């Protein structure tokens, strides 16, 4: 039985992810970040409203206790601050500190420099993004999944 195109796509896409993680490992270590904390940091956009723990758990596909654990590390490293949401005092919102913003920018810059996708031409990237958008859009509607990865973009 030979391999379908779908299987080849899944395997290749996974390979890109693993390769990327492998390549940025040294940069994360320099910043005092682990893969999990780096990912959490990435998903806090300093230009948007501070996300709640619930929102972050959703974005990270992890459960609440796990996010508490990750957040503790980020707070300890002084990359984020927990504060009570005045609108709902059960909820805690996460805001980046100044060094958190710097670390986040470093992680993103390193990733974009080292990702295998960086080899693609702008035209190929646009085509790839079109396909990824098509891949994710129906899924989000269907599952009510995390915030779409396909937000505002500037070529």
Choosing from 26, 29, 64, 131, the residue that interacts with a copy of itself (CB under 8 A) is 131
Task: Using DSSP, state whether 92 is helix, strand or coil.
Answer: strand
Distance CA 32, CA 3 (A): 41
Report what 70 binds from DNA, a copy of itself, none; CB cut-off 5-8 Å by kind.
DNA
Task: In whole angstroms, give the CA distance from residue 23 to residue 76.
Answer: 26
Of 53, 80, 103, 110, the residue at the interface with DNA (CB under 7 A) is 53
Distance CA 101, CA 105 (A): 6
User: What is the spatial distance between Cα 15 and Cα 11, in angstroms, rounded to a whole number?
Assistant: 6
> Is 3 near DNA (CB under 7 A)?
no
Using CB under 7 A as the binding criterion, the count of chain residues that bind DNA stands at: 29
Q: Pick between residue 122 and residue 144 the one whose CB is nearest to DNA.
A: 144
Q: How far apart are CA 103 and CA 46, in angstroms?
A: 12
Q: In the complex with DNA, which residue's Cβ is closer, 93 or 110?
A: 93
Contact residues for a copy of itself, defined by CB under 8 A: 2-22, 42, 60-61, 108, 111-112, 115-120, 122, 124-129, 131-136, 138-139, 145-146, 149-155
């Amino acid at each position: 039985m030979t391999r379908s195109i779908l299987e080849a796509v899944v395997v290749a896409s996974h390979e890109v992810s693993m390769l990327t993680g492998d390549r940025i490992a040294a940069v994360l270590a320099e910043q005092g970040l682990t893969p999990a904390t780096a990912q959490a940091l990435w998903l806090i956009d300093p230009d948007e409203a501070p996300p709640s723990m619930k929102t972050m758990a959703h974005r990270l596909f992890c459960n609440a206790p796990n996010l508490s654990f990750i957040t503790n590390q980020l707070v300890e490293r002084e990359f984020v601050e927990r504060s009570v949401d005045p609108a709902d005092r059960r909820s805690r919102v996460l805001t980046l500190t100044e060094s958190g913003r710097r670390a986040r920018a470093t992680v993103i810059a390193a990733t974009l420099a080292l990702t295998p996708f960086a080899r693609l031409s702008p035209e190929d990237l646009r085509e790839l993004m079109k396909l990824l958008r098509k891949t994710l859009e129906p899924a989000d509607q269907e599952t009510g999944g995390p915030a779409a990865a396909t937000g505002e973009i500037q070529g």
